[in-house]
Amino acid sequence: MRLVIARCSVDYAGRLTAHLPSAPRLILIKADNSVSIHADDRAYKPLNWMSPPCTLRETRPGEGPEGGGTREGETAHAVWTVENKGGEKLIITLEEILHDSSHELGVDPGLIKDGVEAHLQELLADRMETLGEGYALIRREYPTAIGPVDILCRDAEGVTVAVEIKRRGEIDGVEQLTRYLELLNRDPLLAPVRGVFAAQEIKPQARTLATDRGIRCVTLDYDGLRGIEDDKLRLF
C-alpha cells in the first residue's frame, strides 16, 4: 500500500462530474490499484475513490502530448489520472507532497466475525425465502474494494440486493451497508442495488436511519432459522 499526503485538487469525470478544491488530503493506493482520497474527518469514508480494475498514469509538466513545459509564472504540478474500464476518470492534481511511503501488508487473514453473525449468514444463505418469496442467492461474502458484503442476492423481480447481517443492528451497521450500496451501484452490471439490513435486534435509531435511506430492515429469528421450535406455551 502506498500512502501519500499531499495538497491536491481532484476532479471526477464519468457519468457525473465532481470537483474537490485544493486542500491537504490523504491518498491511498492499494495493491489492487484502487485509489481512495480521504480528508481528516468522515471516519473511514473516502471523499472520492476509484475501484479496481483501474490504471494510474502520472504526467509531469512537459510530458504531455504537446510538451513545452510550463510558462513563466505558472506552477509545475504533477497530475495522476486514474481510469477504470468504463472510461471514468479520477484526475488528481498534486501541488505539494508532504509525505510519500509504501508498505507491504501481505495477505490479510480476513475479518473474524462473531460466531452468531457468521452462523446467521450461513443460515440465511440457505433460507433465502426468509427475506421474501423468490429471493435467490448470488454469493456469500461478495468481495468489494472496501470489504465483503455478507450476502448478495436477487429478489423476485431480479433486482440485486445487498444484505448486511448483524447480531445487534445499530447505526454503524447501517452506515456500513450504505457504503457498500454506494460502491455496488457504480457497477453497471449490478445496478440498481437495494439494501437489506438484517439482525436479531435492530435499534430504533438504526431502523429510522435505514428507512430514511431506503434500506429495508428484517428482524431475524436465530432459533427459527436453525429449525428450533419455540418452547413457550401457546394457546393454540
Please state the separation of Cα 1 from the chain's center in Å: 18
Do domains 2-102 and 115-226 share one topology? The answer is no
pLDDT score of 112: 58
The grid cell for 83 is: 481510469
Which 8-state DSSP code applies to residue 119?
Answer: H
State phi, psi for 196 to the nearest 5 degrees.
Answer: -130, 125
pTM for the whole structure: 0.53
Measure the N-to-C terminal CA separation of the chain; round to a whole number of Å.
Answer: 61
Any idea which fold 2-102 has? Protein Yojf; Chain: A; (2.70.180)
Distance CA 29, CA 3 (A): 7
Any idea where the domains of the chain sit in the sequence?
2-102, 115-226
- Provide the residue type at 161 as one letter: V
Q: Tell me the fold of 115-226.
A: Trna Endonuclease; Chain: A, domain 1 (3.40.1350)
Any bridge partners for residue 135, and if so which?
none
* Alpha helices in the chain, H assignment, sequence order: 115-126, 171-184, 204-212, 222-226
Residue 2: the pLDDT is: 94
Say which residue the cell 440498481 belongs to: 192
Q: Which three cell numbers stand for residue 212?
A: 430514511
What digits encode the pLDDT tens for the residues 175-190? 999 999 999 999 999 9
Taking 50 as the pLDDT cut, the residues of the chain under it are: 65-75, 230-236
Q: Residue 232 has what pLDDT?
A: 43
In the chain, the amino acid numbered 35 is V
CA–CA separation, 10 and 49 (whole Å): 10
Q: What is the pLDDT of residue 45?
A: 85
